Structure formats: C-alpha cells, structure tokens
Structure 1
Amino acid sequence: MDVDRSPWRRGRLLALTAALIAVVIGLHDLVPNRWGNLGSLVATSLPWLGLAVPLLFLGAVVRRSALAALLALAPTIAWAGVFGPQLMPAGSAAYDLTVVQHNVADDNPDVGRTVELLLAAEPDIVALEELTSERLPQYEAALGPTFEHHATQGTVGLWSRYPITEHTRVDIRPTGIHASWDRCLRTVVRTPDGDMAVYVAHLPSVRLGPRGLAASSRNRSAELLGEAIAADPAPRVLLAGDLNGNLLDPGLEPVTEQVSRKEHGFRLSFPSAFPVVQLDHVLARGADVTDLKVLPRSGSDHRPVAAHVSLRGGQ
C-alpha cells in the first residue's frame, strides 16, 4: 500500500491545526497578556473557536484523513471542558433584586424607547453608562416616575427603588486620558436586606489593530477599579458596568478577583445588531448573581442585560 495514501498519513496539516486549537482552548489562561495583549485577544475569541471543529471534521472528510478526524476531537473536548459547565441548565433560583445594566450610547436618540425596554424587566436598580449632558435630563425625566432615588457621576448613573445613602466618585482614570474623563460611581443602596455598595463603571474601550489589541488603558482602569473594590469595607458589593471585556479576559482579573458571578450560557451583548462578545456585566461580592439575561435591542450599540441578585448568598 502507498503510505502517502494512507488515511493516517493524509491531512497532517489539518491534524496539526486541530492540535494547536485544542492547546489554545485548553490552556488559554496561560497565554501571556503581552505582545499586543495576546491573552485578552484569545479570551475574546475563545467561545468562537468552537466553530473551527465542524470545519476540521469537514476537512478530514474531504481529505479522507483518519488522523485529522481523530485530532479534531481534541478541540471538541477542550471546548466542552471550558464551556460545558456554563451550558448546563441553570434552573430557577430565589433572588431579591433585579438589576438592569446598559451602556445607552451617547448617540442614542430614542431615550423613551430605551427606558421603556429597561423598565419591562421590572428592575429594582438601573445602571447606565454614556450619559451625556444633553440626554441626562431626558433619562431623569423618563426614569423618575419609577425610581425615587438616583445618583450620577460624569457619564454614569444609578437609579434605585431603594434609598441611596451615599454616592461618591471613584477615580479609575488611566494616565494619559483627559481629566474630564469621569466614568465610575460608588453608591450605598439601602435594600430591605441591608446596605449594599453599588459601583457603576465604564472602562476604556479596546481596539484591534496591526499591533494586536490596544487595551492598556482598559487594563489600567481595571486595576484601579479592582483596588477600590478590594479596599471597600462593605460586606456586600455589586458592580454593574461596561467592562469592555469578557470574564475570561486576563486584563479584567483585578476586577474579577474581587467580584464574580456564576456563568450560564453566553450572554453576548455587543454589537447590538449581532452580538459576538460579552462586555456588559453585573458582578457581586457577598451576594450572588443567580441569573443574567440579555435584553432586546435599544437604540444603543450595546444590548442591555438584566441580572437577578440574591442578597442572602454570597462568597
């Protein structure tokens, strides 16, 4: 038999590709976040690497390669190992609060429709980013009849059914960004189950360019936010915001080491027309985010998310 025609010798390039993808998926947390923020770039694209699996199997069939077909199982197993647990049914869990988080976009002209969509989730707390001086009075007027209490800071704001007893600015501005940049607010909300510190934050954007992922400002801002939360004496802390990264992103580790949630499914929120990445989050310490779902499109380039929060649980 001609060994070159053996199904165990054909498709070696496909087999090598499958092995490399499996390694990237399985060991993604070891990819260093340098050389153009490679770790962040891998984390952002990681859920979509599963799409390579059917292409690898198709290539194995076309090439009639048993070797490529066998090694195509490797990324399948690796992807299932990383994402399988969060695809398990979450079931129903008791909760005390509904929190809606939304980057409303500074060029969103339809404040009325946006607010109507947010209120349909029957939230107790609403956190908004990209509030402009022009649009803020419109949001205050639209949300005011439902929420007696609210606080704003720069371009972020919080509306609550429960009293807000404190509100302060949190400085998460990275070096090199204009002094007018003001994107983080800390409040204390007095819930029926006790006080809870609630942060609303909007981290700097990241951009993909010829040198990789430009995320140094986002990463530094995440460090400052993580330091603020770590030093917060409140037994319960909630963070709602546009963090410009998913929870696997190593650039967000300073934040995700302090506040977290149990992942269920893929809560993709950006861009709104066809979401491919999760940028919008509700995370907690001393409380449990028991569920998070993505809401329908508003006039923003982000989709809003709604989270159920249990104040009786926590880590």
Structure 2
Amino acid sequence: MSRSLRALSRPGPWRRGRLLAALALLLGLLLLLHARVPDRGGLGSLLDTFLPWFGLLVPVLLIGALWRRSASAVVAVLLPAVAWTGLFGGVLGDKAQAADSDLTVVTHNVGAANRDPAGTARALAASGADVLALEEITAQARGAYEKALADTYPHHAVLGTVGLWSRLPLSDVEPVDTAMDAGPLGAAKSAAEKLPSNRALRATVTTDEGPVAVYVAHLGSVRVMPRGGFWTDSRDRNARALAATIAAEDSKRVVLLGDLNGSTDDRALAGLTSRLRSVQDEAGDGFGFSYPADFPVVRIDQILVRGVTADRSWVLPATGSDHRPVAAGVSW
C-alpha cells in the first residue's frame, strides 16, 4: 500500500525535469535569436564567434533528460537540436567541388613571435600555392621569408606587416587604409600591436584569364579586458574601413586573404561577408578552425571571394606560428 502511495505521489514524466526543459528552451531561443543579443562590451560578437560550440550542450541536456526520465525535457531538447542543425548542419560535410583549380591561394598569420620563420616559409612554399599571403611579418623576420620563398615565388610585395608572394605577375600594389589605432587604452600591447600600423594591401594578380584583385589584411586584435569585457573596437573599425574599400573595388574578381580576427558568423564582419563569399562555407570540410594552432577552436583566418568559383578549402598543418595556414582552390 505504501509503495503504491509513493508511486502515485511521484511526478509523472511530463512533470519531471522542468529545470532541464527550461534550460533546453533557453538554449534553443539563444541559438535562434543570437543576432538580437546586444553587442555591449563585445558580448554579441563573442557569442557569434563561439556559437557552434553551444551544440555540445545539446547531448548533455539530452542525457540529463533521459536520466531523469523526463518526457518534457526530451521534447524541449528538440528545439536547440533543430536550431543548431539549421545553423551549422550543412557545415559538417565535405563540400569540395573539384580537385583541380585555376588558382590555389594560401593565407597565414606567421606570428610575430615565430622562432622559425625560415621553416614556416619552406612549409608554405611546399603547399603548392600560386598566391601566398602572410600577415604579422616583423622587420627581423622579413629577410628570412623573402629568402626562403624567392625560388618558388618570383613576384612579391611587402607593405608594413603584410606581404604577398605570387607565381604570377603582380602590379598596382598599394596599402589599404584600415583605420588602425594604438590598441585598447591602458592595455599592455601584444607583440602584434607593437608592429607598424600598415596591416593591409591590395594588388592585381595577372592570370591567363585576366586580372584578379587580391587583398591581404590583418584586422585589429580582439582582447578580453579586465574592465570593459570583450574588446573589439579596433577590429570592428578595421572591418568597416576594409568593407568600404571592397565595396568600391571595380575588379570583377576579388580575393581577400587574411587574419580577420573573427569568424564569418561574427556580426562585426557583416560589411565584408555581405559582399564576399567564404570559400570554407562553400567548399570546405567541417568548420576549418585555424586558431590557436595547438588546438584550434575558431576560424579567424579567412579566404573570401567574389567573381570566382570556390572549388575546395582546407587547413594546413601547424607551423611555428600560433595560427594554422588556410588554403583554397578557386576557378574562373
């Protein structure tokens, strides 16, 4: 009799696990409405960047719901599961369109603290790239890169901390104003922030099928501030300035290579991603994370294009940098 009473007094499967159900619903709403989260203190930008990782919470909530035998929680978990799949499910497969391309490009933030620039250069030369973009080149390491890449790339240009090496002729090389500043007020500068202020260039690469406008850019750092939270002011300002330049570009074919210090889901890069397409999104395999090199959790090194077809996109092995190089093949 007492057992029967206890069984009747226990909450049923639709009443158990209410907290889990509420958490699942909140996660689903966050995934669906993340763009409406205010960007105060860079919170919205941070959320956009790491949004794919919120998918890890879905199986955790599902296991909790099954352990609690909560029907309501199991049903509630469907919302974030469907929302995450809608946002990122298409990214998981290999979307490569072709093995052979008209032009292979590679971009790499080589790292101001890189202790083996020559080794990094040799690894990049062996990648088979037709056009190679480097960011965060120090004055001390510049000679090592130029020497190691000279045999493979007869054409090159370095402006400030960014450079472009090419098997094909280069012309019209010029700096691009990205409205750089000194960095967050009162913050200790990183090695990259102590470099010269020019961090973007534009060049014309001449191909058999006509010219291609190639941009190399290294946008400002994103930092966590003791007071003020996630600091993105410099990066955001750089992105707006670069987007304005891209918008005024006359060339039908445009390739942007560089460390943009943000994922293509980041709202701060909307001025660029609304005008250019991500080769990783169109022809990559998975998320293509590139940073940090030892255990990549985010893709902040980007190849964006206009007027060309993205054939494939991949991440190269780590070098002496804290970033991994990323590569893409494009065709006319």
Matching residue of 2:252: 235
Q: Where does residue 238 of structure 2 map in the other structure? A: 221
Does the 8 Å contact 2:114/2:321 carry over to 1?
Answer: yes
Q: What is the one-letter code of the residue matched to 1:246?
A: S
Q: Distance in 1 between matches of 2:82 and 2:224?
A: 29
Superposed CA offset, 1:122-151 (max 9, x none): 000000001000000000000000000000
Match of 2:321 among 287, 300, 312: 300
Distance in 2 separating the partners of 1:16 and 1:48: 20
**TM-superposed deviation, 1:223:** 0.1
Q: Is the 8 A contact 2:256 2:304 kept in 1?
A: yes
Q: Flag the 1:99–1:52 CA change in 2: closer, same or farther, 3 A.
A: same
Report the equivalent of 2:158. Answer: 152
Q: Could you tell which deviates more after superposition, 21-30 or 44-53?
A: 21-30
Q: Identity rate of aligned residues, in percent?
A: 47
Indicate the residue corresponding to 1:64 in structure 2. 69
Q: Which residue of 2 aligns with 1:9?
A: 15
Distance 1:179 1:227, change over 3 A: farther
Amino acid of the structure 1 residue aligned with 2:177: D
Q: Deviations over 1:268-304 (max 9, x none)?
A: 0000000000010111111133321111110100000
Match of 1:128 in 2: 134
Is the Cα–Cα contact under 8 Å of residues 282 and 289 in structure 1 kept in the other structure?
A: no
Q: Which amino acid aligns with 1:203?
A: L
Q: Report the equivalent of 1:198.
A: 214
Could you say which residue in structure 2 is the equivalent of 1:261? 278
> 1:36 corresponds to which residue?
41
Say which of 193, 199, 205 aligns to 1:183.
Answer: 199
Q: Matched residues in 2 for 1:308 and 1:126: separation?
A: 12
- Measured at CA, do residues 250 and 301 of structure 1 come closer, stay the same or move farther in structure 2, by a change above 3 Å? same
The yes-or-no answer on 1:117 pairing with 2:123 is yes
Moved more, 4-13 or 221-230: 4-13
Deviations 1:56-112 (A, max 9, x none): 011112322111111112111111111112223314325211101000001101123
The answer on whether the counterparts of 1:149 and 1:163 sit within 8 Å (CA) in structure 2 is yes
Q: Distance in 2 between matches of 1:179 and 1:229?
A: 24
Residue 291 of structure 2 aligns with an amino acid whose one-letter code is F
Q: Which of these two proteins has the greater Rg computed from alpha carbons? A: 2
Mind listing any 5+ residue stretches in structure 1 that lack a counterpart?
none
Which SS does the other structure have where 1:81 is aligned?
Answer: helix
Structure 2: how far apart are the matches of 1:156 and 1:82?
33
1:175 Cα deviation after fit? 4.8
Where do residues 159-170 of structure 1 align in structure 2 (5 Å cutoff)?
159-170=165-176
User: Quick one: which of 135, 139, 142 aligns to 2:148?
Assistant: 142
Distance 1:171 1:3 in 2: 70
Q: TM-score, normalised by structure 1?
A: 0.93
Relative to structure 1, the CA distance from residue 140 to residue 179 in structure 2 (aligned partners, 3 Å threshold; closer, same or farther) is closer
Distance 1:308 1:26 in 2: 33
CA contact (8 A) 1:261 1:290 kept: no
Secondary structure in 2 matching 1:116? helix
Alpha-carbon distance between aligned partners in 2 of 1:12 and 1:151, rounded to the nearest angstrom: 61
SS of corresponding position for 2:41: coil
3-state SS of 2:40 partner: coil
Query: Bigger CA drift: 91-100 or 276-285?
Result: 91-100
Asked whether the 8 Å contact 1:283–1:289 carries over to 2, the reply is no
One-letter code of the match for 1:227? A
Distance 1:224 1:3, change over 3 A: farther
1:246 aligns with 2:263: yes
1:288 maps to which residue?
309
TM-score (norm 2): 0.89
**Counterpart Cα distance in 1 of 2:88 and 2:82:** 10
- SS of residue matched to 2:277: coil
- Unpaired runs of 5+ in structure 2? 1-6, 184-193
Between stretches 93-102 and 241-250, larger displacement belongs to 93-102
1:161 to partner: Cα distance: 0.4
